[in-house]
Amino acid sequence: MAVTAASSTDRIEKALESALHRTQGPGAPPRLLAAMRHAVFPGGARIRPQLCLAVAQACGDSDPTMADAAAAAIELLHCASLVHDDLPCFDDAELRRGKPSVHRAFGEPLAVLAGDGMIVLAFESVAAAGVSKPALLAPILLTVARAVGAPNGIVAGQAWESEPAISLAAYQQAKTGALFAAATVAGAQSAGGDGAAWRTLGERLGEAFQIADDILDAIGKTATAGKPVGRDAVLGRPNAVAELGLRGALDHFHELTAEAIASVPECPGQVPLRAHIAERTRKLLPVEVALHAA
Amino acid sequence: MAVTAASSTDRIEKALESALHRTQGPGAPPRLLAAMRHAVFPGGARIRPQLCLAVAQACGDSDPTMADAAAAAIELLHCASLVHDDLPCFDDAELRRGKPSVHRAFGEPLAVLAGDGMIVLAFESVAAAGVSKPALLAPILLTVARAVGAPNGIVAGQAWESEPAISLAAYQQAKTGALFAAATVAGAQSAGGDGAAWRTLGERLGEAFQIADDILDAIGKTATAGKPVGRDAVLGRPNAVAELGLRGALDHFHELTAEAIASVPECPGQVPLRAHIAERTRKLLPVEVALHAA
């Protein structure tokens, strides 16, 4: 079975459209809906939902409706976290994906509410897909919820920035790793697979992605990243390049992606999934980064 | 079957404790957890989860674990909405339930994140209860999610304050009515009942509660309300007393509670539930309000 990124892209955009369609109806406040659309479209690389669908496909994709809903939920939760992280009380970011952040475009109240609404919509979308497949629902919801809430989800990760002393491992694992792990676990669960076997893949990819993000922040250009760069240094946040140097960060990135690929469990689509992950991770860093480090 | 408020109170506090227990674990940021506890304990009247359990009991309470989870989820979502509504970009409220609001006590970042975490926790708690009763899960989750998100939930209600022109009916129904309706519908669903038949009860009680809140805001004392009063006039928000006068608002309150009680569907506990609702609604307004209106 081939993992086809093109059709996955199509599935993800349709699943997100279908989720956002749920927010329309008589009595809906128009600017809230516009703010939510602004946060979701046009997307970034959609790397988490792509990963979710790639795993579902590798496991046989026996329930594409549920896989699509899980992928959309994970992307909605990711987008919600970006909207809230960009707020003035956190990063006060002007730009996101090359356009104004939600609070810059719609004001702070609607940025708070759009994020809230997207969190709710994520769970609602999975619940709607679960009406016809009730046995899949609770495990997938628990996977997704634990990746976002406390003690170890992205909300907890972000909250470490408000602690007097930060637990760096907990911070990075929760802030980035958790949702990547949910993508692989929920992808497998939506195809009736054993979610737990797929956790390592998501965790290693999440770590690798965090390092790539740190590298782009440290040496990247705003136009390439679609958001301001150099922010980690300005905000005093941990950054792998600051810790390990560029060469060290790149080496660690390659170690993590190799571990991720090696961890892919036995499944009908194991070989194409490994190739897909190798290809996607290569694209995380532009060619000039390797030259920069040489 | 008697509806016993004392045992319901006990069930609700235990269900909320049990939900918050899910946020504990290695790697949890302590201040986030403290902020979430601050938002949930000690509670107010817990009127929504009390209503949810009262309906579940009237319907036979065949799955108390699910009823408790639904009640706790509804209260968590209510508390989350208070935390976010109190933020500086909305009401900038100093006090809530007689103590500092979450952003005053823990800062704005943790208030945003505590609210987010409580939304996630609400869905996680229902999902956890649904592991052993998968057929109940999707309908209850959809009931709860629709009461909170867009187009007609509390997030949408709050978002009407950011529109150039407000739809007053949509605003009040979404901001207060939706979660009351979810309480009665989910209460019935958790006992295997027909949720739709219970919607009118929740909607009428939500309207009545909104009017009682407007009356307390217009003529109440901060010490009684546990939050600053007179805020509707200051913030230019709609208020039933401003629209109808105190006598008119009180009359409308009594009409709505009578309609609510008349709407209770046939069920094993119909008679005690009607008595329970009559008693609870009487307590919404202190005696001096009636004297004030005389």
Q: Which helix (H) or strand (E) holds A111?
A: helix A108-130
Q: How high is the mean pLDDT of chain B?
A: 92
* Coil/strand/helix, residue B98: coil
Q: Is B92 on the interface with A (CB under 8 A)?
A: no
Separation CA B71–CA B76 (nearest Å): 9
pLDDT of residue B95: 93
Give the contacts of B127 (CB within 8 A, at least 6 positions apart): A137, A138, A141, A142, A145, B137, B141
Nearest to A25 among B22, B142, B152 (CB): B152
Tell me the CA distances in angstroms from A207 to A70, A199, A200, A276, B4, one per residue in order: 21, 12, 11, 18, 52
Task: Find chain A residues with C-beta within 8 A of B80's C-beta.
Answer: 116
Least confident piece of the model among A234-248, B93-107, B169-183, B221-235: B221-235
User: Which chain B residue's Cα is nearest to A146?
Assistant: B124
Q: Is A235 on the interface with B (CB under 8 A)?
A: no
How sure is the predictor about B2, in pLDDT bands with cuts at 50, 70 and 90? very low
The closest alpha carbon to A3, from A277, A272, A193, belongs to: A272
Q: Which of residues 155-214 of A touch B (CB under 8 A)?
A: 155-156, 158-163, 167, 169-170, 173-174
pLDDT > 70? residue B288: no
Separation CA B198–CA B184 (nearest Å): 6
pLDDT digits 0-9 by tens, B252-285: 999 999 999 999 999 999 999 999 999 999 988 8
pLDDT digits 0-9 by tens, B116-147: 999 999 999 999 999 999 999 999 999 999 99
Q: Which two tokens stand for residue A231?
A: 């922010």
Q: Which helix (H) or strand (E) holds A252?
A: helix A240-263
CB contact under 8 A, A31 and B162: yes
At which residue do the structure tokens 């707020």 appear?
A: A87
Task: Find chain A residues with C-beta within 8 A of B141's C-beta.
Answer: 123-124, 127, 130, 137, 141
Q: Which two tokens stand for residue B6?
A: 């004392």
pLDDT of residue B293: 59
A174 and A167 Cβ atoms separated by less than 8 Å: no
Stretches where chain A sits below pLDDT 70 are 1-6, 221-226, 287-288, 290-294
pLDDT of residue B1: 44
pLDDT digits 0-9 by tens, B4-59: 556 999 999 999 999 999 999 998 999 999 999 999 999 989 999 999 999 999 99
Q: Is A32 on the interface with B (CB under 8 A)?
A: yes
User: B32, B66, B74: best mutation site toward chain A, by most A Cβ within 10 Å?
Assistant: B32
Its pTM stands at 0.94
pLDDT digits 0-9 by tens, A37-48: 999 999 989 999
pLDDT digits 0-9 by tens, B54-79: 999 999 999 999 999 999 999 999 99
B190 and B56 Cβ atoms separated by less than 8 Å: yes
Tell me the CA distances in angstroms from B292 to B219, B225, B240, B259, B285, one per residue in order: 9, 16, 16, 24, 11
CB contact under 8 A, A141 and B127: yes
User: Which chain A residue's Cα is nearest to B167?
Assistant: A27
Domains of chain B: 5-293 (1.10.600.10)
B182 and A56 Cβ atoms separated by less than 8 Å: no
CB contact under 8 A, B156 and A32: yes
Q: Is A138 on the interface with B (CB under 8 A)?
A: yes
- Give the E-state strand segments of A86-217 in sequence order: 95-96, 99-100
CB contact under 8 A, B116 and A28: no
Separation CA A250–CA A290 (nearest Å): 8
Separation CA A220–CA A245 (nearest Å): 15
